[in-house]
Amino acid sequence: MNNSAMSTVELDVNGKRKAVVVRHADTLLDVLRVKLGLTGAKPGCGNGDCGACAVLVDDEPMHSCHMLAVEAAGKRVTTIEGLQGTALQQAFVDHWAVQCGYCTSGMIVASHGLLLRHPNPDEATVNEWLSSNLCRCTGYEEIKQAVLSVARSVGQAGGTTP
């Protein structure tokens, strides 16, 4: 389907190909949540400020509320649902890096992107990357320790996968 306001786009979400009819005006967040049922990315500010909606697009964190779904055609989208069972998910549990949980999916997604790019980040790099994600419970220290623990364990194992 392709008319002036809508198109059928092929999305690669968490390794699965999906053909989705989207309004050109639909954000990626809208499509993930409403059309694909992937509700892990959270609507927060709707303005690219809070990071609750973060997903990876070709391994780079993006605010999915600030990207049109039609722009994601041909790109790899990874949501929190695609990161189940990762060391990072477990580290958030182990470090009590979750309070109300609303920011958690965005935090884990952004941190996953960070560790893909910087497998052994220093604190300044973690701070810079996670400055994009707000936690109103203010559990930032636990979140940072969770991320750094995965970096350390990956470094000790000589691997690169978070």
Partner 1 sequence: MIPFDFEYCKPATVGEALKTFRDLQAAGKRVCYYGGGTEFISLARLGSVTTAAVIDLKGIPECLTLSENDQHVLIGAAASLTQIAEYRAYPLLSDHCRRIADHTSRNRITIGGNLAGVIEYREAVLPLLVSDAQVVVARGEGMETVSIHDIFKGTLLIGAGEFIIQLLVPRSEANLPYVSLKKTRHSKVDYPLVSIAASKKDGRIRLAVSGVCRYPFRYPPLEDEVNAANRSPLERAERAAARLPEPAVNDAFGSRDYRLFLLRHAIADTIRQLEGA
Residues near partner 1 (CB under 8 A) are 4-7, 23-27, 30, 46-48, 51, 54, 60-63, 65-68, 70-71, 110, 128-129, 131-133
Beta carbon nearer to partner 1, 90 or 120: 120
Alpha carbons 45 and 79: distance in angstroms, whole number: 18
> Residue 31 Cβ, how far from partner 1 at the closest point, in Å?
11
Q: Which is nearer to partner 1, 8 or 90 (CB)?
A: 8
Q: What is the residue type of 87?
A: A
Q: Which is nearer to partner 1, 123 or 153 (CB)?
A: 123
**Contact by Cβ (8 Å): 27, 64:** yes
133 neighbors 106 (Cβ within 8 angstroms): yes
**Contact predicate 37/52, CB 8 Å:** no
Residue entry with tokens 């890096």? 97
Comparison of 22 and 154: residue with beta carbon closer to partner 1: 22
CB of 143 to partner 1, least distance (A): 15
List all residues 6 or more positions away from 72 whose beta carbon is below 8 Å from its beta carbon.
9, 11, 28, 57
Tokens in use for 75?
């790109």
Q: Smallest gap, in angstroms, from Cβ of residue 98 to partner 1?
A: 20
CB of 157 to partner 1, least distance (A): 26
